[in-house]
């Protein structure tokens, strides 16, 4: 009776639709199809395999899995994940073997969010924006076997890349070099603009001083000759 009561209390602590199990000697926690909108906070900390697939989770915050020091496999597929905060997988780098982020709403993902992981990562079936950021991400992570072909460009700077597998595109296009060239051109245009402003100011300054000098000489000419010679000498001395 005591054991049964303990099991009932433990089950009651889990979100509806979530339950612990054991698979091949590994402790598993399943929350598939549980209508979750966030990562549960009461996952047993001795969990080896965590299934959070087929829910409605939109975002992974920092330290979302920090209390799972034994986690080996994490399935987050078929959710609504559109954002992953840097540090969301902190604490998992040394032991996580598999991370499934397929079939979500990821348009972009920084390499800092997952680049430190040693796990095989599945990024397929997301509406990716094909750009330098995605190129850096793909070169940083270890992709799960057979998942590379599912990373398809939903959007890109060039229309001909849309609908193509990203690995096929970057075989012929270096997005990061194109971005660097664009940045360099923007810097050159900015520098030229500042240079033109400085030149314009110098020209204005010289012309303004010439005009002032001309007016002063005209004023001296209008004075009586003796006073004019004295002031001209003073002006010449000052100039010298």
Buried (b) or exposed (e) across 78-117, using 16+ Cβ within 10 A? bbebbbbbebbbebbeeebeebbbbbbebbbbebebbbbb
Specify the residue for token string 């001296």: 220
Nearest to 15 by CA among 103, 35, 159, 156: 35
d(CA 9, CA 34): 19
Instruction: Give the model's confidence band at 227: pLDDT under 50 very low, under 70 low, under 90 confident, else very high.
Output: low
Residue-level pLDDT at 148: 95
Cβ proximity of 68 and 90 under 8 Å: no
- Distance from chain centroid for Cα 5: 48
DSSP string of 38-57?
S--S---TT-SEEE--SS--
Tens digits of per-residue pLDDT, 101-141? 999 999 999 999 998 999 999 999 999 999 999 999 999 99
Task: Please report the pLDDT score of residue 4 as a whole number.
Answer: 38
**Paired tokens of 226:** 């003796």
Closest CA to 88 of 57, 73, 111, 66: 66
Could you give the CA distance from residue 141 to residue 94 in angstroms, rounded to a whole number? Answer: 14
% of the chain residues with pLDDT over 90: 62
- Packing angle of the helix pair 132-140, 175-221 (nearest 10 deg): 140
Beta bridge partners, 75, equal 51, 100
| pLDDT at res. 17 | 93
**pTM of the predicted model as reported, rounded to 2 decimal places:** 0.70
**Would you state the pLDDT for residue 183?**
44
pLDDT in tens, 195-210: 667 676 666 666 667 7
Res. 39: pLDDT tops 60: yes
According to the model, what pLDDT value does residue 239 have?
40
With a cut of 90, say whether residue 240 has pLDDT above it: no
Q: Contact, 20 vs 45, CB < 8 A?
A: no
More confident residue, 100 or 229: 100
pLDDT digits (tens, 9 = 90+) for 115-125: 899 999 999 99
Q: Give the tens place of pLDDT for each residue, 53-91.
A: 999 999 999 999 999 999 999 999 999 999 999 999 999
């Amino acid at each position: 009776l005591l054991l049964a009561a303990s099991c009932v209390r433990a089950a009651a602590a889990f979100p509806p639709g979530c339950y612990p199990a054991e698979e091949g000697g590994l402790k598993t926690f399943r929350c598939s199809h549980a209508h979750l909108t966030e990562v549960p906070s009461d996952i047993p900390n001795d969990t080896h395999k965590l299934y959070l697939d087929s829910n409605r989770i939109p975002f992974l915050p920092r330290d979302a899995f920090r209390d799972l020091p034994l986690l080996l496999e994490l399935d987050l597929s078929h959710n609504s994940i559109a954002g992953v905060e840097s540090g969301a997988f902190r604490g998992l780098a040394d032991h996580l073997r598999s991370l499934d982020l397929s079939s979500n709403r990821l348009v972009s993902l920084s390499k800092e969010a997952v680049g430190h992981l040693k796990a095989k990562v599945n990024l397929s079936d997301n509406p990716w924006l094909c750009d330098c950021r995605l190129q850096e991400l793909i070169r940083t992570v270890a992709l799960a076997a057979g998942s590379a072909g599912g990373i398809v460009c939903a959007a890109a700077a060039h229309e001909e890349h849309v609908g193509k597998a990203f690995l096929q595109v970057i075989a012929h296009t270096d997005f990061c070099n194109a971005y660097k060239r664009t940045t360099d051109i923007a810097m050159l245009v900015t520098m030229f603009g500042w240079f033109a402003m400085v030149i314009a100011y110098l020209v204005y300054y010289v012309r303004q001083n010439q005009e002032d000098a001309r007016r002063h000489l005209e004023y001296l000419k209008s004075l009586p000759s003796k006073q004019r010679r004295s002031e001209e000498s003073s002006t010449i001395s000052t100039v010298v």
